[in-house]
Amino acid sequence: MSKNNRQPFVAGNWKMNGSLALVADFNEKLNTVNTRAQVVICAPSVLLHAFKSTAFSIGAQNVSHLDNGAHTGELSVSMLKEAGCEFAIVGHSERREDQGESNSLVAQKAAKCIAGNLTPIICVGESLEVREAGQVEAFVGQQLDALIDVLSIDELKQSVIAYEPIWAIGTGKTASPEQAQEVHEFIRGYFAKVDAELAQGLRIVYGGSVKPENAETLFAQNDVDGGLIGGASLKAEDFISICHAAN
């Protein structure tokens, strides 16, 4: 399967930003987006109810690996589904760092999503220290191993992978198109050792300071199927132009 057979994917990650006014702005503007890409907004959970989306889907930024019970502050897959989510980000580096989420917990969350019909957007990516030590493939490989251990080939086929080098997130330092392509190719090759068809169909998106100015060259790389967008997803015009770059 060539790149053209994989539908491009662009998701916005609002993080702990946004308001009902911003949702209203996106309801008006993003519903006119004209792109081949599948478009998703992952907003704070308390805002999800206000989206009126016809041209895009909504997603959560995190989800519990458990079904229900005494877990204060957590949200389950079924709750997010009822709130209208079709996607959930799992294993974002901010949660891996702030909440100590391990590779195996991230894999369990992804499995829970798939069992409940929510598509996981699974984040992987290295720190600057790891990159400077020449350990990118070893580090990302471990993150992928945890997924391969827990998820079946069929479950992996239902996932989206986001390669997000931590040093590029929110820093304004984007990976060069070559740096992004190199790791995306490595990730696809890693999955190809498990199953060739899985690897060919898998959507692997890049995240880390994507902006309207750099989106097109990043998304044009052979193994880059779109993006996970933080800061630039907070302005409808910028986000729409990134969605168009995925054409």
Are 187 and 222 in contact, with CB atoms under 8 Å apart?
Answer: no
Q: How far apart are CA 69 and CA 51, in angstroms?
A: 28
Q: Within positions 98 to 137, which residues make up the interface with ligand PEP, using CB under 6 A?
A: none
Smaller CB separation from ligand PEP, 68 or 171: 171
Q: Does 18 bind ligand PEP (CB under 6 A)?
A: no
Q: How far apart are CA 58 and CA 41, in angstroms?
A: 5
Q: Does 37 bind ligand PEP (CB under 6 A)?
A: no
Smaller CB separation from ligand PEP, 120 or 231: 231
Contacts of 241 (CB under 8 A, 6+ apart): 212, 215
Q: Does 170 bind ligand PEP (CB under 6 A)?
A: yes
Q: Does 161 bind ligand PEP (CB under 6 A)?
A: no
Q: How far apart are CA 11 and CA 7, in angstroms?
A: 13
Q: Which residues are catalytic?
A: 92, 164
Q: Does 218 bind ligand PEP (CB under 6 A)?
A: no
| Choices 137-145, 151-159, 183-191, 201-209 (CB under 6 A): range interacting with ligand PEP | 201-209
Dihedral sign from CA coordinates of 157, 101, 83, 9: negative
Q: How far is CA 184 from CA 31, 108, 195, 225, in A?
A: 30, 23, 16, 9
Q: How far apart are CA 147 and CA 155, in angstroms?
A: 10
Q: Does 231 bind ligand PEP (CB under 6 A)?
A: yes
Q: Does 91 bind ligand PEP (CB under 6 A)?
A: no
| Choices 16-24, 111-119, 192-200, 202-210 (CB under 6 A): range interacting with ligand PEP | 202-210
Q: Which of 18, 120, 207, 226 binds ligand PEP (CB under 6 A)?
A: 207
How much of the chain is in helix, strand and coil states, percent to nearest 5? Answer: 45, 15, 40
Q: How far is CA 46 from CA 18, 42, 110, 120, 217, in A?
A: 10, 11, 22, 19, 35
Smaller CB separation from ligand PEP, 13 or 159: 13
Least Cα distance to 84 among 121, 48, 56 occurs for: 48
| Choices 56-64, 185-193, 208-216, 237-245 (CB under 6 A): range interacting with ligand PEP | 208-216
Smaller CB separation from ligand PEP, 114 or 125: 125
| Choices 109-117, 129-137, 228-236, 239-247 (CB under 6 A): range interacting with ligand PEP | 228-236
Q: Which residues bind ligand PEP (CB under 6 A)?
A: 13, 164, 169-170, 207-210, 228-232
